[in-house]
């Protein structure tokens, strides 16, 4: 995460989830949270934990899972030897992928074939 509680890439599902959670929080707690606030996601997660609405609680779990993988990728990237960036997102390169990269480099010198962010062998 680049900032506290914000993913590096924002997609439509993330924004839709924030907007829906905002509506539920406004209806139940009579509090308006602006998406442009710096700690909007943290506040939404806090309200989701305190909510009696099961749908809002599930949305909070989904939002938490959207934010958590970013942190685990960064932790794995720090321990791993090689990090590959594909379309701006960090991807951890495992030993199997490194072995495939070396095999493909052996078969075709100077050429590496990559399909959808993965090294293709053969």
Q: What is the pLDDT of residues 83-115, one digit of tens each?
A: 667 777 767 666 555 555 455 445 555 577 788
**Longest Cα pair distance anywhere in the chain, in angstroms?**
64
Question: Whole-structure pTM over 0.85, yes or no?
Answer: no
H-helix or E-strand spanning residue 114: strand 114-115
pLDDT of 1 above 50: no
CA angle 39, 5, 43 (to 5 degrees): 40
CA separation for the pair 82, 116 (Å, rounded): 18
Q: What is the pLDDT of residues 23-60, one digit of tens each?
A: 999 999 999 999 888 889 899 999 999 999 999 999 99
CA separation for the pair 25, 30 (Å, rounded): 7
């Amino acid at each position: 995460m680049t900032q506290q509680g914000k993913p590096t890439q924002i997609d439509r599902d993330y924004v839709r989830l924030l907007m829906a959670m905002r509506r539920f929080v406004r209806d139940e707690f009579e509090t308006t949270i602006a998406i442009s606030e710096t700690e909007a996601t943290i506040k939404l997660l806090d309200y989701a934990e305190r909510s009696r609405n099961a749908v809002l609680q599930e949305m909070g779990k989904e939002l938490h899972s959207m934010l958590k993988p970013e942190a685990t990728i960064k932790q794995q990237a720090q321990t791993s030897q090689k990090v590959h960036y594909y379309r701006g997102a960090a991807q951890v390169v495992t030993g199997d992928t490194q072995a495939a990269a070396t095999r493909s480099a052996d078969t075709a010198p100077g050429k590496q074939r990559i399909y959808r962010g993965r090294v293709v062998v053969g």
